[in-house]
């Protein structure tokens, strides 16, 4: 059993997060290897989303949030980085509820590259197409790129969000319960895309669907009540004998 990789892409070292008096993460230590799909499972309010927000430091925008410990991306402490915007562009984020920005489909996907200074139309066109293809949305929107992103259906908007997350060519893609607002067929499409993408990037998949983690993830971490209970290869966590009894109960649907 190899539980520690040599060169983790993302590492949490004793990370605690609290919002005022409420503790959202309690001394979590965790390593996420490169080019894998890393599943994070756990019941609601167990700290999964907070964990993601620490990676790209959008936790900074949460009022009253306090972060202790170290979060390393590519071996570098995120709080030591001079350019946080650069960090955020290295990481793609997809949150549970689809958010189409009130811009055209094209401008939605071109937003991040433009903010980063890319203005050449041909480069943008190519990038937008690639991202939309990766998100399995290209065929549905290629003829109506000027439609408002907010006018797409929920499932389409979620794929638009994924396309946007890919638009700044991230090395890490984080997805937070992406399938909540998406129909099963689209979910399957996106899952296929993820398996494809893992050749190019590290994928962190937070999910409340235990079976989804089982299908996709190479490695799974189980969070409960702000605490990391267990990390391990998927087949081990989902086996008859995970390291912790609690994991077994959760995976079998006994609580959560």
Partner 1 sequence: MRHAAALRLSRLAEPLVEAIIRLCGWSAIFFVFAIFFFVFREGAPMLFGALDLGEFFTSVNWRPDSRIQAQYGVLALLAGTASVTALAMLLSVPAGLGAAIFVSEFCPPRVRETLKIVIELLAAIPSVVWGFIGYMVLNPVLIAVTGAPIGINILNGGIILALMSVPIIMSVGEDALKAVPDTYREAAIALGASRWQVVYKVLLPAAKNGLLAAALLGIGRSVGETMAVLMATGHAVQIPHSLLDPVRTLTATIAAELGETVEGGDHYRVLFVIGTLLMLMAFLVNLTADLVVKGVRGKQNG
Partner 2 sequence: MARDAATTTGPGAGDAIGRFAAGPVERRKALVERLVAWLLGSLTVLLVLPLIAILATLVAKAWPVLSWAFITQNPQTYMTAGGIWAPLIGTFYLVFISLAVAAPIGVLAGVYLNEYAGENWTTRLVTLAVVNLAGVPSIVHALFGVGAFVLFAGIGRSVLAASLTLAVMTLPVIITSTKEALAAVPQSFREACWNMGASRWQTIRTIVLPNATSGILTGVILQVSRAAGETAPILFTGAVFYVAVPDRGLASFFPYGLFDRCMALSYHLFTISTQVTGVSEALQYGTAVVLIGLVISVNLASISLRVYLRSRKRW
Residue 39 vs 113, nearer CB to partner 1: 113
Q: How far is the CB of 200 from partner 1 (least distance, A)?
A: 24
Helices (H), 63-146: 84-90, 105-115, 121-134, 138-141
Residue 97 vs 116, nearer CB to partner 1: 116
The binder of 167, among partner 1, partner 2, none, by C-beta within 5 to 8 A per type, is: partner 2
Residue 117 vs 184, nearer CB to partner 1: 117
Our CA dihedral for 76, 81, 83, 86, rounded to 10 degrees, sits at 20
| Dihedral sign for Cα atoms in the order 21, 174, 139, 118 | positive
Q: Quick one: DSSP state of residue 100?
A: -
Q: How far is the CB of 116 from partner 1 (least distance, A)?
A: 7
Residue 80 vs 119, nearer CB to partner 1: 119
* Distance between CA atoms of residues 41 and 231, nearest Å: 10
Residue 214's closest CA among 172, 242, 180, 185? 242
Q: Quick one: DSSP state of residue 20?
A: T
Q: Looking at 97, 125, 225, 252, which residue binds partner 2 (CB under 8 A)?
A: 97
Q: Which of residues 101-120 bind partner 1 (CB under 8 A)?
A: 116-119
Residue 80 makes contact with partner 1 by CB under 8 A: no
The binder of 145, among partner 2, partner 1, none, by C-beta within 5 to 8 A per type, is: none
């Amino acid at each position: 059993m190899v539980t520690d990789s040599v060169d983790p892409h993302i590492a949490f070292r004793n990370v605690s997060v609290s919002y005022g008096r409420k503790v959202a993460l309690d001394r979590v230590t965790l390593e996420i290897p490169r080019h894998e799909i890393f599943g994070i499972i756990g019941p609601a309010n167990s700290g999964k989303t907070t964990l993601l927000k620490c990676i790209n430091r959008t936790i900074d925008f949460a009022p009253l949030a306090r972060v202790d410990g170290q979060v390393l991306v590519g071996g570098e402490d995120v709080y030591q980085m001079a350019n946080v915007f650069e960090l955020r562009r290295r990481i793609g984020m997809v949150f549970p509820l689809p958010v189409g920005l009130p811009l055209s489909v094209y401008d939605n996907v071109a937003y991040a590259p433009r903010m980063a200074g890319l203005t050449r139309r041909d480069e943008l066109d190519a990038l937008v197409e690639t991202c939309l293809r990766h998100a399995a949305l290209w065929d549905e929107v290629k003829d109506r790129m000027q439609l408002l992103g907010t006018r797409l259906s929920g499932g389409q908007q979620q794929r638009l969000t994924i396309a946007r997350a890919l638009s700044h060519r991230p090395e890490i893609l984080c997805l937070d319960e992406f399938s909540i607002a998406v129909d099963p067929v689209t979910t399957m499409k996106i899952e296929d895309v993820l398996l494809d993408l893992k050749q190019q990037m590290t994928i962190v998949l937070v999910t409340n669907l235990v079976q989804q983690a089982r299908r996709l993830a190479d490695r799974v971490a189980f969070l409960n009540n702000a605490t990391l209970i267990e990390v391990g290869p998927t087949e081990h966590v989902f086996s008859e004998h995970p390291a912790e009894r609690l994991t077994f109960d959760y995976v079998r649907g006994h609580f959560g």
